[in-house]
Structure 1
Amino acid sequence: MYCQQQFKEYYEEIKISDEKAGLREKRTILLDALSAGLSEEVPTWTHFNQGSYAMGTGVMPLDGNYDIDVGIVFDMDSTEYTALEIKKEVFFALNKGNRSVEIKYPCVRVNYMKGSEVDFHVDLAIYCKEDNDYYIAKGKTNSDEDKILWEDSAPKELIDWVYERFSGDDRKQFLRVISYLKRWRDLKLGHSNLPSIALTVFAGEYFVPNHDVFNDNKPRDLLALKDLAEMMKNKLDWGMFDIHLPVSPFTSLVAKLTELQKENLQDKLECLISVLNEAQSETDTHKACKKLAKQFGDEFPVPEAEAAKSNTPRSVTVTGSSA
């Protein structure tokens, strides 16, 4: 069983969308607050969406604290403010109301609170632009001086790189498979050393679309996901698992993965591949989906068993006379 209908329903359940999370409105409110809160001395700025939200690969987090990534580009060169100075300007402009703001090393994070809990957060990546080159502000309040810097970056090129990997139905399947893999990672790994961008870039390099050319070209997400998972496990088995940004600064995206975490990832992938094979071989959709749900969580739909359907009492219309 390919369980394609169930995979698509699962995708609709786990993906982040403007409609589901009200992201567009929340982003607009924050940007308006930033515009009102910055002093007149601070250079003008523009913004753009970035991260999984811009790429269409965002999934609802297990704890409900979803995030929005926004790039803020100041019209200045890197000599006008240090990376930390401009981040502090953003911090003071936004640190009020029901927002809790913190300066993280790669961004300024704005937490929106619901009672004492974080409801959602917005990560503002702060850039300056010199000619056509972007530089991102790195550093936080207690960083050593040599760690406070403007780092070469290419955020829009990364978005374009992901977008241009595939087109049409292939792109739709590509984005769905990345989302399945990200939710599986959240459920099975229990650490953040395999970041979402690493999974996205790996898929961009090795994903192969899978459609049934003999059956109206219907997508086979299960097979496309299995092929990608097998490639990842092979890379780990061969000691060749290293994912780099495909744009400047070309850094490793899995540098924090320990050897023990790599071994655990191998084991988890082996289990995932085994379950995908079992589901593919299963002739009963209910049984196949029950197996898949153990890998992908309670949101993965499991249709009613055929036996249960056949045992459901039906209304009976009696005609003629009884004996």
Structure 2
Amino acid sequence: MSVFDCGQDMTKFHNDEITLSKDEQDEMRKRRNIGRRRLEIGLDEEEHRQPELTCSQGSYAMHTMVQDADCDYDIDDGIYFAEDDLVDELGLPLTPQEAKERVCAALSRDKRFTSHATVLLKCVRQVYNEGYHIDMPVYRIREEDDGEGGVNEIYELAGNGSWEASDARATTRWFKGVVADLNKAKEGRGDQMRRVVRLTKGFARSRVDWKELTTSGIVITKLVVDHFVPSEGRDDEALLETWKAIRDQLKKSTQVAHPVNTSNLAEEGNAKVSFFKEKLDWALGELAVLEKGCTRSEARQAWDSVFDTDYFENLPEPKEEDKRAFFIPASQKSDVRHDGNGRFG
């Protein structure tokens, strides 16, 4: 059954209300760099060694961050130390807790912030006065003999009481690889999938009281990648059909596998995934009107209801030529906003 065409409406909504503008991207980069500089200065003042590398990860690195009216942004920046540099004054190796505390102490030397950095289970978090926060997972780099005269580097995260084999960069490579493969198969398909990820994350956080109850961005990303249904020139239809596929899968199981590790992102019965499934099921009920011969006004009201906005209803009526051909040629598709032609992703 055909779906009422709100393709242009959805593209405008994504560009105006969901993805970050060029100015916002630049601001995120500035905030990340400020956090890195604070850590560098703090470690020098504490007379500790600097990390071997720092690497953006999560939605920032995948280019799937979405706008937030409360400036509740989560910037993930992995801190990687050589194993020999994570030792105490006696040369004894630091525990995962001690490694995180070292980073936390270095960040906390800057007294200009209302909130001190805090140690969490798997990262160090610094909350900024503007509302956003930077999470710094702490890693150590171990070297192991590969058995052939060479060396393998093993990356381990300072977790809750143990060093856990982990490297978030592999997850970023996985996602970017999927996008690239889809784009090779069909120009713009991977870019559409990234937009569907952003739109789905925007929906999942569209109400303030949902934010703490719904599942994480990486779980949503994995679900979209696994169940993405492309629709050339129609982000609205791609979003709707992808949501249906995700809903159907979550009815069978709320377990979500990790894209690169043997562990799961979510286990069976996970409360946050279950909450997301419940809200997705509700949204699809609201959007059922799109397949029942509705009017444009009814279609826009449905999307407004789902995203808790009045954006769609306030859009102007499409021009006559748009009504005859309500799609975007593949050659014109990109994640571009009307703010200096900034591109994100």
* Common fold by TM > 0.5: yes
Residue 174 (structure 2) aligned to one of 161, 173, 176? 161
**Which of the residues 64, 72, 81 maps onto 1:57?**
64
Equivalent of 2:247, from 229, 233, 242?
A: 233
- RMSD over aligned CA atoms reads 2.5
Partner of 1:295: 306
Structure 1 distance, partners of 2:248, 2:189, is: 23
Q: Equivalent residues in 2 for 1:138-217 (5 A)? A: 138-139=159-160, 148-165=161-178, 166-167=182-183, 168-187=187-206, 190=210, 191-211=212-232
Please state whether the residue corresponding to 1:133 is helix, strand or coil: strand
- Equivalents in 2 of 1:256, 1:29: separation in Å? 39
Q: Please state whether the residue corresponding to 1:80 is helix, strand or coil.
A: coil
Which residue number in structure 1 is paired with residue 328 of structure 2? none
* Match of residue 124 from structure 2: 108
Determine the structure 1 residue equivalent to 2:136: 124
Q: Report the CA distance shift for 1:157/1:265 in structure 2 as closer, same or farther (over 3 A).
A: closer
Distance in structure 2 (CA, Å) of the matches to 1:153 and 1:53: 18
For 1:272, the equivalent position in structure 2 comes to: 283
Name the stretch that deviates more: 34-43 or 278-287. 278-287
Name the aligned partner's letter for residue 103 of structure 2. V
Q: What is the DSSP-based 3-state SS (H/G/I as helix, E as strand, rest coil) of the residue aligned with 1:132?
A: strand
Letter of the 1:175 partner, please give it.
R
Deviations 1:73-107 (A, max 9, x none): 11226773211111111111111222531111111
Residue type at the aligned position of 2:67: M
CA contact (8 A) 1:100 1:112 kept: no
Give structure 2 stretches of 5+ with no counterpart.
87-91, 143-151, 318-345
Alpha-carbon offset, residue 299 of structure 1: 6.4
Q: Which residue does 1:313 correspond to in 2?
A: none
**Alpha-carbon spacing, 1:8–1:173, altered in 2? closer, same or farther (3 Å):** same
| CA distance in structure 2 between the aligned counterparts of 1:230 and 1:295, rounded to whole angstroms | 14
Q: Return the alpha-carbon distance in structure 2 between the equivalents of residues 301 and 153 of structure 1.
A: 42
- What CA distance in whole angstroms lies between the structure 2 residues aligned with 1:304 and 1:111? 36
How far residue 267 of structure 1 moved from its aligned partner, in angstroms, is: 4.3
Percent identity for Structure 1 against Structure 2: 25
Structure 2 match to 1:243: 256
Amino acid corresponding to residue 183 of structure 1 in structure 2: G
Q: C-alpha distance in 1, partners of 2:268/2:33?
A: 35
Identify which of 60, 82, 87 aligns with 1:75: 82
Q: Which structure has the greater CA radius of gyration?
A: 1
Distance 2:36 2:50 in 1: 15
2:28 maps to 1:9: no
Bigger relative contact order (CA 8 A; separation at least 6): 2
TM-score with structure 2 setting the length: 0.74
The CA deviation string for residues 23-75 of structure 1, in whole angstroms up to 9 with x for no partner, is 11111122111111103333543111100111111112353221211111112
Task: Give SS of 2:35's match.
Answer: helix
In structure 2, relative to structure 1, the CA distance for the partners of 1:298 and 1:284 (3 Å cut) is: same
Question: In the alignment, what sits opposite 2:271?
Answer: 258
Shift of 1:256: 6.7
Amino acid in structure 2 at the alignment position of 1:6: D
- Correspondence for 2:52: 45
- Give the 3 Å change call, closer, same or farther, for CA 193–138 of structure 1 in structure 2: farther
Contact 1:193 1:257 survives alignment (8 Å): no
Q: Residues of 1 paired with 2:227 and 2:215: CA distance?
A: 17
Question: What does residue 234 of structure 2 align with?
Answer: 220
Distance 2:222 2:315 in 1: 37
3-state SS of paired residue (1:113) = coil
Which digits, 9 at most, give the CA deviation of each residue in 1:84-131, with x for residues without a partner? 1111111111112225311111110011114xxxx2110111111223
CA distance in 1, matches of 2:311, 2:201: 14
TM-score under structure 1 normalisation?
Answer: 0.79
Which consecutive unaligned segments of at least 5 residues does structure 1 have?
Answer: 140-147, 212-218, 307-323
